[in-house]
Structure 1
Amino acid sequence: MLKIGTTSLLSNIIPGLLPLFLLGMISRNIEPQSFSVYLLIMAAIGYAGFMELGISRALVKAFSQCHNNPNCTALIFSTSFLLLSILGIITGFLFYVVPSVISFFIETSIEYELLFQSLRLVSISVPAIFLTQIYYSYYEGNLKFTNILFLKLSTLIIEISIQCYVVVTTNSLENLIISIIVTKYISLFICIFSMKDKLKLNLKFNRLIAKDLLSFGGWVTVSNIIGPIMVYFDRFYTSSVVSFSISSHYLAASELVQKSTIVPSSISRVIFVFLSRTGIDKVEKSYLSILLVTFPLSLFFFVFSEHILNSWLGIEANIQSIISFKILSIGLLLNAFAQIPCSKLLSQNRAKSVALIHMLELIPYLLLLYYSVDQWGVIGAAIVWTFRNGIDFILLLIMSNK
């Protein structure tokens, strides 16, 4: 399990570092206003990935339980391909329509018109994002993290190369968004090509499998909708209340911390597959593993927050963003610990418990965020985000031990 955990860690950390280079490149080549919009678009894409009704997590569990049955695997694959194709088209349509509806009823600023225009454009990429998750779920469910590492590196190098070239040569946000769409479909085709000798896609639809995927994913979906609100909403809200010049630094710090959650997530994903296969519920040693890999990272962010922001973004960070980055680094550690009891609950088919906890947290979080941002700006947003992660860990831990 240690070897698998290490491979999983590498398959997430190495690809996770590459987009940080891209962010630094983009911040130096487009206007601050456009950079803020770009970060919000990335947050929206991240949120879109959570709107696939929890099927990707359900697929990991399904593939792990059918890892010795090729026929079962093929049927799961084809059923999920059709399901996620439909969901991807629906979600992309919502991405296109919702900004138009908001603009029709509410007079918006130039910045938000730019954001809405970019959202309409990037909606084209949503089906590709959804379908790509099937391939990663297959490899993860079969504990083939080396394949995941190869796929992620291959697709990310292509994505980053194209996007860097576009942003350096054109300095255009619109062209950058178009390059995102193109590279997402290139990534999907690479994933399809990686499986051409392992699995033939016959597009057979099995209602029983679809029902199992949706029933497991049903409560996961609640978490997948509510969870990202508590992860990403602070970015959208602060950018609407605080000036774009200040909020852009906070958005960047928040994006870096969010990307860093892939470190503990690499361990929790292995734990989830292991618990799903064996039914063992002892996870005490996992907390030590999480501490060993996440604490040094959190400490590094806390101590060198100013230097990281200045050197990474190429501009002098303001004091509010530096302080908020330090606070977010504490939240990173709490978020890491929360992933262990969450994985334990999901492996026991107790997704409902996770969803109920997130439902319980939502309203207090939004109220606290509204008050804190009004009082302390981006620092208040960071405090509330970190506090919510602490409460999340405590509640999940209590529930997982029942």
Structure 2
Amino acid sequence: MKLSHVSWNLAGLSLPLLVAVVTVPHLIAVLGNERFGLLALAWGLIGYAGALDLGVGRALTQMVARLRGDGHVATIPDALATAGRITLIAGLVGGVVIAVIALSGGGAWVNAKDVSASELENAILLLAIALPAQSMSATYRGLNEAYLNFKGISLVRASLGIVNFGGPYLVAHYTTQLPWLVSTLVISRLLALLAYRTIASECLAHHAGTQNGGKYSSSIAKSLFSFGGWITVSSVVSPILLQADRFMIASILSAAAVTVYVLPYEVVIQSLILVGAISTVIFPTLSRLVHAKPDQWQAYFRRWLSIVVATMLAVCLALAFLIPVLLPLWVRTNLKPESIVVGQILCLGVFANSIGTMFYALLQARGWPNITAKMHLVELPLYVLTLTVMLNHYGIQGAAWAWVARMVFDALGLAIFARRLND
């Protein structure tokens, strides 16, 4: 694996962060805590749409990496066509479900005082349109990752991330209506799908010698689901685990309270961009080494794990120390003192999560996605119960401690399983 691959991936994740630094304070000042909290929920929901690829994007990355290693490149177009059809259908079904929920008054559970039910309903309906595009994007991104085309992925991801924050920022100069704010997120996802598809076609033309679309194959679909089936479980459950805190805060406390929690969360969680860049890049290489050179993958993984542990320990300690200075500098208005304490608590969970992410990638690269999926199934009821209790008794800080506990449990569990399966 080349360091340039990590660098490109890191750049694609970092540029949107810089835009967020500039735009979020203005959004909070203009929208207020409640509307910004609802916008944060929209970001969370559209991020969850990635789960609708049913794990097929990740499965496609592993399949194409193995096909390239075995010299069976002629099968790759069929694999892409099969994965694309699966994710399109899944995205359409998900969009219909969200639309039905919106039309059935699903927005009523959000504790929002100054936003009308019709405004919420229209915003949710717009998000439903983005779901098929988001799920299909994972397929084309998966093909690019298998070909190690991290430059192309990063350029699209950076553009998408910039619009993710910059779009609402520009719209907020003219209106604070949620549907108009959310429409920028929808348009950016549609454009991102087109871009991912274009660079995927270029990859096929360059490496496989063809731009012709493949054909749907039931045998390939079965193979994708045999690996992706368990990833599907993780892909569905993991975003619920990831977004449960802010949605339960909105329900149990208020939409305004989401802002108190999300601000420090977004600051500390961005430190994981390095881990995300590394784990994404090592996955196709690790998948290939496990099958083609089984004597080399352990040293390869340990080297990158050591780098992640050392780097993230330093980063998390620095963040915990500096967040009382960073948050007030970033958000000059409407900042609650409790946000600083929440941020310091979350630093513990970020460090644990960085370790868990590496073992998550290892287990999937070795063809054991069932382990990570079963871990998530165990965590879900435990986390929801813990989060409910902690929110009711300790408020926002309780939510932060519940998140830390889940991250520690997840990292320990994945590490233990990975070690036992290696013995």
- The TM-score normalised by the length of structure 2 is 0.87
- Look up the match of 1:303: 321
Asked if 1:186 corresponds to 2:191, the answer is yes
Q: Which residue of 1 aligns with 2:81?
A: 78
| 354-363 vs 61-70, which moves further | 61-70
Whole-angstrom CA distance in 1 between matches of 2:108 and 2:179: 25
Most deviating of 78-87 and 101-110:
101-110
Is 245-254 or 178-187 further displaced after alignment? 245-254
Task: Give the match for residue 169 of structure 2.
Answer: 164
Q: In the alignment, is the contact (CA less than 8 A) between 1:16 and 1:262 conserved in 2?
A: no
* Contact 1:155 1:190 (8 Å CA) reproduced: no
What's the offset of the Cα at 1:69?
Answer: 4.5
**Contact 2:38–2:255 (Cα < 8 Å) also in 1:** no
Asked whether the 8 Å contact 1:275–1:281 carries over to 2, the reply is no
- Amino acid paired to 2:328: N
Structure-1 residue corresponding to 2:345:
327
Which of 303, 307, 323 is the equivalent residue of 1:285? 303
Q: 1:129 aligns with which of 112, 129, 134?
A: 134
**1:358 Cα deviation after fit:** 1.6
1:225 maps to what in 2? 236
Q: Give 3-state SS (helix, strand or coil) of 2:140's partner.
A: helix
Q: 1:132 is matched by which residue type in structure 2?
A: S
Please list every run of 5 or more consecutive structure 2 residues that lacks an aligned counterpart in the other structure: 205-210, 291-296
Partner of 1:43: 44
> Could you say what secondary structure the match of 2:172 adopts?
helix
Contact 2:141/2:200 (<8 A) preserved: no
Q: Deviations over 1:160-209 (max 9, x none)?
A: 55443222233332211112212211222222333454443525211111
Report deviation, 1:380.
Answer: 0.3
SS in 1 for 2:335: coil
Give the 3 Å change call, closer, same or farther, for CA 63–167 of structure 1 in structure 2.
farther
CA separation of 1:300/1:28 partners in 2, compared to 1, >3 Å: closer, same or farther?
farther
Gaps of 5+ in 1: none
Where 2:298 maps in the other structure, the secondary structure is coil
Q: CA deviation at 1:357?
A: 1.5
Conserved in 2, the CA contact under 8 Å of 1:77 and 1:201? no
Contact 2:109–2:251 (8 Å) recurs in 1: no
Q: Distance in 2 between matches of 1:202 and 1:73?
A: 10
The aligned residue for residue 287 of structure 2 is 276
8 Å CA contact 2:95, 2:128 repeated in 1: yes
Where 1:57 maps in the other structure, the secondary structure is helix
Question: d(CA) in 1 for partners of 2:183 and 2:417?
Answer: 44
Shift in Å at residue 331 of structure 1? 0.7
Shift of 1:391: 0.9
Q: Secondary structure at the match of 1:401?
A: helix
Structure 1: how far apart are the matches of 2:214 and 2:21? 37
Question: Which of residues 313, 333, 337 in structure 2 aligns to 1:315?
Answer: 333
Q: Does 1:337 align with 2:355?
A: yes
RMSD: 2.5
The answer for the alignment partner of 1:58 in structure 2 is 59
Structure 1: distance between partners of 2:214 and 2:359:
36
Q: In the TM superposition, what is the alpha-carbon distance from 1:254 to its structure 2 partner? A: 2.4
Q: Is the 8 A contact 2:29 2:334 kept in 1?
A: no
Identity %: 24
The 3 A distance-change label for structure 1 pair 138 and 18 is farther
Cα distance per residue 1:8-63 (max 9 Å; x no partner): 33333334443454433422322322111100111111112123211111121122
Render the CA deviation track for 1:358-390: whole Å, top value 9, x for unaligned: 222222222111111111101000001011100
Q: Which residue matches 2:294?
A: none
Equivalent runs, 1:2-401 vs 2, <5 Å? 3=3, 4-67=5-68, 69-101=72-104, 103=106, 110=113, 111=115, 113=117, 114-157=119-162, 160-199=165-204, 200=211, 202=213, 204-279=215-290, 280-282=297-299, 283-401=301-419
* CA displacement at 1:240 relative to structure 2: 1.6
**3-state SS, counterpart of residue 168 of structure 1:** coil
SS at match of 2:215: coil
Cα distance in 2, alignment partners of residues 391 and 54 from structure 1: 23
Letter in 2 for 1:96: A
Assess if the C-alpha contact under 8 Å between 1:78 and 1:203 holds in 2: yes
1:170 is paired with a residue whose SS is coil
CA distance in 2, matches of 1:222, 1:363: 14
* 327-336 or 44-53: bigger deviation: 44-53
Give the direction of change, closer, same or farther, for the CA distance of 1:163–1:108 in structure 2 (3 Å limit): closer
1:25–1:164 contact (8 Å) kept in structure 2? yes
**What is the one-letter code of the residue matched to 2:150?**
F
Look up the SS of the partner of 1:386 in the other structure.
helix
User: Quick check: 1:41–1:115 contact (8 Å CA) kept in 2?
Assistant: no
SS at 1:171 equivalent: coil
CA gap of 1:18–1:206, structure 2 versus 1, over 3 A, is: farther
Deviations 1:119-139 (A, max 9, x none): 222111111111222222122
More moved, 360-369 vs 114-123: 114-123
Q: Does the C-alpha gap of structure 1 residues 158 and 257 become closer, same or farther in structure 2, counting only changes over 3 Å?
A: same
